[in-house]
Amino acid sequence: MTSLNEEVEMLRKIPLFAAIDPAKLKLLAFASDRKIYNAGQDLFKQGDPGDAAFVIVNGDADIIVTADNKEVVVATVTKNEIIGEISILCEVPRTATVRAKDKLEVLTIKKEHFIGLLTQVPTLGVEVMRELASRLQKTTTELSEARQELSQKK
């Protein structure tokens, strides 16, 4: 069993939460749920409604996108990464499936708690925007490279 203080320290290791006041992190840790997923188990599926974000405590998970009835692993996430926040921030269905690669331990942060923290800590909002912009830049680069490869094959 992990103590509340240990969960706060774990949250502080996540770059997104590093500069947040420890008292606010303690409230976030208290309001969050720790869950275990087995290898092959889905945390959520593409198209599901977004009701929480997840912080990976231990283990790895694949980010999977389904297109033309085929699953494609587009990324792997690991310890201290946060996932699922796009859906709750943009109020859109889940953009991908997240599946445990091995035993996966996560901290589940409900939508209302995550949004509440964003409103209380404006610097967190800036960090979230930076993270999302970084992911968008990476995706745009990968898409551009894929298009270039396709055009060269024609």
At 52-111, the pLDDT tens digits run 999 898 999 999 999 889 999 999 999 988 899 888 888 899 999 999 999 999 989 999
CB 29 within 8 A of CB 4: yes
Short-list 106, 137, 133, CA closest to 44: 106
User: In this predicted structure, what is the pLDDT of residue 118?
Assistant: 84
Considering Cα of 35, then 45, then 95, then 64, what sign does the dihedral take? positive
Q: What is the mean pLDDT of residues 20-49?
A: 90
Predicted TM-score (pTM) of the model is: 0.81
pLDDT band at 1 (very low <50, low <70, confident <90, very high): low
Short-list 91, 83, 127, 86, CA closest to 107: 83
Domains of the chain: total: 1
Indicate which CATH number applies to the domain containing 65.
2.60.120.10
CB 8 within 8 A of CB 25: yes
CB 25 within 8 A of CB 11: yes
CA separation, residue 41 to residues 10, 61, 91, 109 (Å):
23, 10, 24, 19
Tell which wins on pLDDT, 66 or 11: 66
Could you report the per-residue pLDDT of 115-137, keeping only the tens digit for each? 888 888 888 888 888 888 887 88
Could you report the per-residue pLDDT of 40-49, keeping only the tens digit for each? 999 999 999 9
User: In this predicted structure, what is the pLDDT of residue 39?
Assistant: 97
User: In this predicted structure, what is the pLDDT of residue 124?
Assistant: 80
For β-strands 61-67 and 97-100, DSSP reports them as: antiparallel
Through-space distance between the first and last CA atoms of the chain, rounded to whole angstroms = 57
Decide if pLDDT at 21 tops 70: yes
Domain containing 147 equals 4-153
